Amino acid sequence: MPKRSSGCFECRQRKVRCDEARPECNTCVRRGTKCPGYRPTQSFILHTFTEESERPGIIREDENRYRYSNLSQSPEGLSRGGAAVRLHPAHARPVDAPVPRQVSPIAIDRVQHLGNFLQLYLPMREAEMLTPPSALLLSLAATPASRNVFVASLDALSAAQLAVSDKTNVLINRSRSLYGTALSQLMKAISEPERAVENETLLATYLLTLYEVFVGVTAGHGFFFHVQGLLHLLQQRGPASFGHSRLDMQLFHGIRYNSLSIGYNFRKGSMLDSPEWLAVTAKAAKIDPYVSLLDICICIPRILERTDKLAQPSADPAADIERLIDDAKQLAGRAFEWIAHFSRDGPRYSKVDASSIDGFLDKCSDPELFNPVFAFKSFGTANMYCIYWMSMLILQSNTFGLLRRFRALEPKQLMLWDRELAGYADSICRGVPYSCRPAAGYVGRFGTFTPLIVARKYFEAKKAEREIKWCEAVFYGNRVPGLYSPPIEIKGVKIPGLRAQQGVTVAEGGK
């Protein structure tokens, strides 16, 4: 390719040698012609396309975009052919000023994909009240993409969102390729001690846990390992490293909720229920009901773990059972205080017909089973209520099992326990439809999975077949049919101690 001439536009057009003096070449000055200036280091290229082909038909340089770019054009000068063009002072018109760097098409695509992801994933209503994990995603647009690990994870998650929304298998395969790239970048990041504990690394890993929810094919194992990795990174940083920025706390809240889901599923406590880690959220818990609720719920997996240890041969139930039951009751008492304060002005929802919930009947084969359903005042409110009902069903079912094993309960006590547990399961099922609406976004749909699993386990223990089928239909209805192979199996939280007692009538499904 021949070298482009660096002369001024006039000399190039006349095909004469230009001495390239600045701001005006002497050749034009001697001829009495206004020097139009020089081409910058970067050029504007115009492409036109024919209807028959996507290849450029004409490629030319649009010199009019920067002809006279180093001169100021007044209306009078333009009207007289440029004879009276007024120049800026020399110090105000740098000739070789750096041209702003062009935005990469890849970067433009990333911004567009991120915008699409946030629009589809988060609730659609303006000024919606979000819980801290959802607010974390809302802050992605303002998070500098300074690390490859963060960019790669964001690309994979955005592609997964588009694939699920468009129901496109080809794009799912593309997103999995991006997921592999993100894993490679993550391995590089965590191999360097300083980078391993950066917010960008934690955020990237958190985004990959969401990817597993979207199109993961590991039956939850990928989600589990990512959460375990996040807890390891938290342990490396220590509790004192959090609370210095808003992103710090949002990350911590998101990781803690995922850790809670793992704890419920595996009945294992985590380091996050220790006093030093609970101190991280002590200040926020005073003003944020979501944070104060999670402060209670994060302690429940430890109760479940201690319960399971009682069945081990080396356990001494006589020495541990009373303390365990007392601890469980105290934790439940804190939860009762939370819900009483949260609903001090009455329930933050109204009861509506199931048919009024947009899109829900498409996911439910038995709409009259749990009807009416709850219409909450906001997405955040719905999320907190469902977390409360789910957590209390797990905690109180466990306590009920302990009492039945180690204490004699009267028929009236059995009936009261059954009514309480059935009420939690019933409330979950009436609260879930609100999060199935398209307006709740994919975060609403995904937020129904664990509560539905817990409710279904309760109905399995009660042998309530109709309720089981309802939970399964809504669970699979909130996923995207045909995009998961093999189909996701419903399995998860164990609900011990739920069986009908001889001589006691147990109400099915909380009716």
Give the model confidence (pLDDT) of 276-321 as tens digits. Answer: 999 999 999 999 999 999 999 999 999 999 999 887 776 666 768 8
pLDDT at 334 over 80: yes
Which DSSP letter does residue 125 get? S
Burial class (CB in 10 A: 0-12, 13-18, 19+), 420: middle
- As a whole number, the mean pLDDT across the chain is 80
pLDDT, tens only, 244-258: 888 889 999 999 999
Alpha helices in 167-268 (DSSP H): 169-190, 193-196, 199-215, 221-237, 246-266
Angle made by CA atoms 506, 332, 433, in degrees to the nearest 5: 65
Q: Which residue has the higher pLDDT, 46 or 397?
A: 397
Q: Which pLDDT band, with edges at 50, 70 and 90, does 483 fall under? A: low
The alpha carbons of the chain give a radius of gyration, in whole angstroms, of: 32
Give the global pTM: 0.74
Token output for 181:
């790239």
83 residue type, one letter:
A
17 residue type, one letter:
R
354, 350, 376, 353: which is closest to 365 by C-alpha?
A: 354
The mean per-residue pLDDT over the stretch 213-221 comes to 78
User: What's the rounded Cα separation, in Å, for the pair 243 and 255?
Assistant: 14
Which DSSP letter does residue 280 get? G
The dihedral through the CA atoms of 283, 289, 290, 296 has a sign that is positive
277 residue type, one letter:
W
The DSSP code sequence of 402-446 is HHHHHS---HHHHHHHHHHHHHHHHHHHHHHHHHTSGGGHHHHHH
Packed helices 300-309 and 317-342: angle between N→C axes, nearest 10 degrees: 160
Q: Which residue has the higher pLDDT, 440 or 170?
A: 440
Q: Which pLDDT band, with edges at 50, 70 and 90, does 19 fall under? A: confident
pLDDT at site 285? 94
Question: 270 phi and psi, to 5 degrees?
Answer: -130, 175
User: What's the rounded Cα separation, in Å, for the pair 198 and 193?
Assistant: 9
pLDDT at 61 over 50: no
pLDDT at 375 over 80: yes
Q: Parallel, antiparallel, or unpaired: how do β-strands 56-61 and 349-352 relate?
A: unpaired
451, 435, 462: which is closest to 492 by C-alpha?
A: 451
